[in-house]
Amino acid sequence: MKKITDILTPHILKRDERHITFVLLYGDIEVGVLYFERPKSTWINKPIMPTKWVCVDAKIDQHMNQVMGGILFDEFNPKDIVEWCQDLLIFSGNTNN
pTM, to two decimals: 0.76
Per-residue pLDDT band at 22 (split at 50, 70, 90): very high
Convert 14-49 to b/e letters by CB count within 10 Å (16 or more is b): eeeeeebebebebeeeebbbbbbbbbeeeeeeeeee
* Number of compact structural domains in the chain: 1
Query: Helix, strand or coil for residue 3?
Result: coil
Q: What is the mean pLDDT of residues 2-28?
A: 88
Residue percentage of the chain with pLDDT more than 70: 70
Confirm whether 97 is domain-assigned.
no
Q: Which residues pair with 30 in a beta bridge?
A: 25
**Closest among 95, 92, 97, 87 to 4, alpha carbons compared:** 87
- Calpha distance 23→15 (Å, rounded): 13
Quote the domain boundaries for residue 42.
4-91
